[in-house]
A and B are shown apart, each in its own frame.
Chain A
Amino acid sequence: MQFIVYKAPTTSSIADTPHNRQMAAAARPLVSVQPLPGSLNDMATDHVTTVALPDVMKASIRPDIVNFVHSNISKNSRQPYAVSKKAGHQTSAESWGTGRAVSRIPRVSGGGTHRAGQGAFGNMCRGGRMFAPTKTWRRWHRKVNVNQKRYAVVSAIAASSIPSLVMARGHRVESVPEMPLVISDSAESIEKTSTAIKVLKEIGAYPDAEKAKDSQAIRPGKGKMRNRRYISRKGPLIVYGTEGAKLVKAFRNIPGVEVANVERLNLLKLAPGGHLGRFVIWTKSAIEKLDSIYGSFEKCSEKKKGYVLPRSKMVNADLARIINSDEVQSVVKPIKKEIKRASLKKNPLKNLNVMLKLNPYAKTARRMALLAEAERVKSKKEKLDKKRKPVSKWLLLYALVLRMEAVNVNGFLCVLRMSEQFDFSGIDDWQNNLEELAAAKAAGKAWYKTMISDSDYTEFDNFTKWLGVSQ
């Protein structure tokens, strides 16, 4: 695929206003005019001439508008259809009413034939009128705003100059040298179809025409019997500039190829099916006329009163370029890579680390509290230990024995002396303890004796029997 380029504008800063852009585009891209084969000799001697790209080709491409306008405009060539207004009513049917064991639908009067008594009039009846019989006064045509129609045409022309859109529409433009394809005016005087085909081959448009020829087929469906028998693809559209050019007759018989005068461009031809990107072949005079027909973004058109090419919503639609441009990046804030998310709340009264985060003094406070507690425990223990003397197990045994009054003191001591296990150290201490013990025991016994008589229970007659003591 070889596309020859033209020089692009020199400035690419996004700080272009449309006005600036106009100024810049005064040095507009140039389209070279394809010379035709040698038999048309006036071109052969000349150099390759160029034409400035008309402003129409830079209009915004709006497939939505084109689709809308196309779908409305294509309704305008419709012929009305309707059923006969008498259909289904050419009977004098009347309902039999109730009481005859039949449904209440109007039935055909009379007799002697199958038709008698059959249902009539209803859409559900055989031979009845259809539901909502179609009428000729259905609104067949659609009105579209002039400006919208012009927008659509302008969009379609712009799309026709973009090779990717044209290829996407299905045209075979691989061997076309340049888009938009402009051929010299000598083509307008072609008279023979054979020359026309040769010209197409020269400029690389023949594969598209071939494609159209190969695709001729019989339409599937009922359209076959409704005078729409054959279908085929669309080929190139030749647009010429001068009125009454002979090329119309030469090119019109080639299958797929259509011809149009620049002053009367049809959206239905420029965007067939509502799809942008028809392959258009312009003649030099046609493309030169485009500027005067459609004007530019600033200048009004000469042919269409007060019409100016539509302005796009975004002059520079390359978002990536805008975002990455210096003008935007210089005022942008740095990216926040680390996002802090909420973490689970932990209870500081249970979790020491979380407590320390909130209150660093908590550590020393807790330490001091623990130490103080340990201190307290220790000092209490010491105090109690000082008060209580330690009692050996032999002493306890002796106390038990004393109670039982089985053995006297000395006897017990003899027994103990004889056994080797006894430890004699601290025996004096022992003696004192013994006395203390005896004193305590005696005091207890004495109290026990007076316990009953001192109490108040003896006052009550109920208790005297089993207490056994009276006051």
Chain B
Amino acid sequence: MTCFLRWDPSWHLPCPSIHEELPGNCLTGPGKRPARLHGCSNCSGMGEEVMVAVPESVLKKQKREEEWELAKKQELAATKKKNAENRKLIFNRAKQYAKEYEEQGKQLVQLKREARLKGGFYVDPEAKLLFIIRIRGINAMHPKTRSILQLLRLRQIFNGVFLKVNKATVNMLHRVEPYVTFGYPNLKSVRELIYKRGFGKLTQQRIPLTDNSIIEQGLGKHGIICVEDLIHEIITVGPHFKEANNFLWPFQLKAPLGGLKKKRNHYVEGGDAGNRENYINELIRRMN
């Protein structure tokens, strides 16, 4: 569109003695049109003051910016307060969990001693939680076992995931036994894995768990707001284990220091594959 406004000498004349009335609309542009010419002393009752002409849109923008600033400040104050409250809550929860774990440990020892005293044996209840690590690479695999490993989110060698124990998962594990090793992790394993190598899944992205707000964003609706909550949910396979576990991106572990014994064989044959129950913890120490 051609510009048909041209330089007008009248734009540079001093302000006329008569207060010029221009239609309201024409103050919406910066600079191109003369703004309301105010500077005459006889029209405003403000004495010798010369007011600077400011376009209306600039005034509106200033007001809008003030409102935004105010809103931002209020929001900041609100989040700060909420954070402080949360902090206390997290502290208390962590304390409660620490007590719980200690109590569990002590109880186990006591039961064992009691059984020994009576001359019998204490049998641990069947484990509810498994940690699986994939120990073989990606080539030359049957497509069905490949799909199962994909379902378990073990797409890369030395990836690890937690898993609930039930008939379905046990049968899946049976199919993929030669490619994985798994066992029952203890509290120290779970804690160390989540603290050192914990990443969360937020909007399909792998975000490091550097702050409790990330966990709150992902699992807040299930009441899990901090790392300790998450650890507790995993280790005592809680009601929202599925969501919590899925929130955790598969752990990318390093190749075990000291090596594996023999990938090709099952653990009971002196190799590494399959269920190694409690000895998984030792492997996790070497791989974390």
What is the interface of chain A, defined by CB distance below 8 A to chain B? 3, 5, 8, 10-14, 29, 53, 57-61, 158, 161-162, 312, 314-318, 321, 324-326, 329-330, 334, 342-343, 345-349, 354-355, 357-362, 364-365
Contacts and interface: CB of A to CB of B under 8 A. Distances in A.
Given A60-B1, A329-B61, A343-B210, A324 B30 contact: yes
Interface of B: 1-9, 23, 25-26, 28-30, 32-33, 56-57, 60-61, 64-65, 68, 72, 87, 90-91, 94-95, 98, 192, 195-196, 208-212, 226-228
Contacts of A346: 210
A349 B6 contact: no
A329 B56 CA distance: 12
Given A11-B23, A361-B91, A355 B195 contact: yes
Contacts of A342: 208
Contacts of B228: 359, 361
A194 to B, nearest CB: 34
B57 A349 contact: no
B83 to A, nearest CB: 11
- Chain A CB within 10 Å, residue with most, of B2, B8, B209: B2
A345 B5 CA distance: 58
A358 B227 contact: yes
7 contacts: A8-B5, A11-B26, A321-B30, A321-B32, A346-B210, A357-B211, A364-B95
A58 B25 contact: no
Give the residue among A53, A345, A349, A358 with the most B Cβ atoms within 10 A.
A358
Q: Report whether over half of chain B's contact residues are helix, strand or loop; otherwise say mixed.
A: helix
A12 B196 contact: no
Nearest to B61: A329
A58 B2 contact: yes
A360 B29 CA distance: 55
Nearest to A320: B30
Nearest to A361: B94
A362 B61 CA distance: 49
Nearest to A163: B6
Nearest to B24: A13
Nearest to A354: B210
Contact of B64 (A8, A329, A343, A360): A329
A298 to B, nearest CB: 16
Contacts of A161: 2
Given A8-B5, A60-B2, A345-B208, A358 B57 contact: no
Nearest to B91: A360
A104 B40 CA distance: 101
Contacts of B209: 358
Contacts, number: 109
Contacts of A59: 2
Given A326-B28, A358-B195, A316 B1 contact: yes
A315 to B, nearest CB: 6
B45 to A, nearest CB: 29
A359 B90 CA distance: 7
Contacts of B29: 12, 321, 325
A304 B124 CA distance: 99
Contact of B28 (A12, A315, A357): A12
Nearest to A314: B1
B91 A10 contact: no
B23 A8 contact: no
A195 B82 CA distance: 90
A360 B94 contact: yes
Given A12-B25, A349-B195, A326 B2 contact: no
B2 A61 contact: yes
A10 B57 contact: no
Contact of A359 (B7, B25, B94): B94
B209 to A, nearest CB: 7
Given A358-B211, A358-B212, A8 B26 contact: no
Nearest to B57: A326
A10 B9 contact: no
Contacts of B23: 10-11
Given A3-B7, A5-B8, A360-B90, 7 more contacts: A12-B26, A14-B28, A321-B29, A357-B211, A360-B91, A364-B95, A365-B94
A169 B6 CA distance: 20
A29 B4 contact: yes
B98 A325 contact: no
Contact of A162 (B2, B7, B25): B2
Contacts of B196: 347-349
B228 to A, nearest CB: 5
The 9 A-B pairs with the shortest beta carbon distances in the complex, nearest first, are A361-B94, A345-B208, A326-B57, A334-B68, A348-B195, A360-B91, A358-B227, A13-B25, A312-B1
A16 to B, nearest CB: 10
Contact of A326 (B60, B65, B91, B226): B60
B2 A13 contact: no
B249 to A, nearest CB: 13
B6 A360 contact: no
Nearest to A327: B28
A158 B2 CA distance: 8
Nearest to A3: B6
A101 B64 CA distance: 95
Nearest to A343: B210
Nearest to A313: B1
Contacts of B65: 334
Contacts of A324: 30, 57
Contacts of A29: 4
